Amino acid sequence: MRRLPLLAVLLCAPAVPWSQAQIDRRAGTYRAQEEVLYLWSGEQVKRLFPGFESLAADVYWLRTVQYFGGERLFSREKRFELLRPLVDISTTLDPRLEIAYRYGAIFLSEPFPVGAGRPREGIELLEKGTRNLPLSWRLRQDYGFFHHIFLGETEKAAAILNEAASLPGAAFWLRTLAADLLAKGGSRQAARRMWQQMYEQAEEGIIRQNAKVRLEILDSLDLADRLTGLGRELERRTGRRPARLEDLREAGLWRGPLTDAEGTPFRYDRESGRVFISQESPLWRPE
């Protein structure tokens, strides 16, 4: 009889982690993240944590990073409909959590499967950030960048960049970038400068990684355009359109690689004579 408690512990203790694993298997590992779909607005969540809003914001922020990835990627099958409420609750609980606006905006705006493919929502989030942190030139800079990169609204982007330039501590090149945007329109060169700035400003991690990929995409697009031009040159010389990209090499017009920055071979469309990033490539994005 005296050994009954010990026996109960020995029998029941293994059942705890085992049943937990069964629950996780059925309900999912990311239940906490998925619960945001059942929560009210960030304002109402804020009411639940009087005096502890900032800590609650940290909890929601950590859940966001755990699910969508931070220094490394965690969740594979991401449900992007969770991103907006998670970031929205984090930033309502702590309106000064600048990283959450920048992070949320990128992954809301990037096309699927990298992001949610909802750039309007990404820009709305940045707008909320500029309202809550009116002196943050970096947030306003991103707000301008995203108008240009994801919506193609060049004039609006230039106006926002000029606003960012007038904020204390703002980078000197914001005004020249705004002027370039107005002069050259939606050029790839302007987009390259924007992603280059985001790459240089970001700490190590997923935001910096995304900017690096974006720069590689621009490099690959430049290379694809160059190869398209060389194909036309070959067509002019020989009177016939190249059948494949290797023809450029054989004609001595090109000695470099015929792959994008990730090493995936380019796709050549013989009908139009144009070179594209292959859909097989991790650098491919819908146009």
Instruction: List C-alpha distances in Å: 178 to 22, 138, 193, 227, 281.
Output: 56, 14, 11, 30, 32
Write out the H or E segment, with its range, that includes residue 137: helix 137-149
Instruction: Give yes or no for residue 32 binding another protein (CB under 8 A).
Output: no
Instruction: List C-alpha distances in Å: 245 to 104, 222, 269, 271, 278.
Output: 39, 16, 10, 13, 13
In the set 71, 155, 222, 280, which binds another protein (CB under 8 A)? 71
* The one segment of 29-37, 62-70, 189-197, 212-220 that binds another protein by CB under 8 A: 62-70
In the set 13, 55, 135, 179, which binds another protein (CB under 8 A)? 55
Give the residue from 139, 267, 151, 275 showing the smallest Cα distance to 201.
139
Residues 108, 180: Cα–Cα separation, whole Å = 27
Contact 280, 264 (CB under 8 A): yes
Question: How far apart, in Å, do the first and last CA atoms of the chain sit?
Answer: 74
* The one segment of 15-23, 166-174, 199-207, 260-268 that binds another protein by CB under 8 A: 199-207
In the set 34, 58, 127, 219, which binds another protein (CB under 8 A)? 58
In the set 1, 5, 15, 51, which binds another protein (CB under 8 A)? 51
In the set 30, 33, 42, 61, which binds another protein (CB under 8 A)? 61
- Identify the sign of the CA torsion 105, 111, 112, 118: positive
Residues 107, 142: Cα–Cα separation, whole Å = 13
* The one segment of 44-52, 75-83, 117-125, 152-160 that binds another protein by CB under 8 A: 44-52
Contacting another protein within 88-147 (CB under 8 A): 94, 96-97, 99, 103
Instruction: Give yes or no for residue 252 binding another protein (CB under 8 A).
Output: no
Instruction: Give yes or no for residue 53 binding another protein (CB under 8 A).
Output: yes
Q: Which is nearer to another protein, 71 or 81 (CB)?
A: 71
- Residues near another protein (CB under 8 A): 47, 50-55, 58, 61-62, 65-66, 70-71, 94, 96-97, 99, 103, 203, 205-207
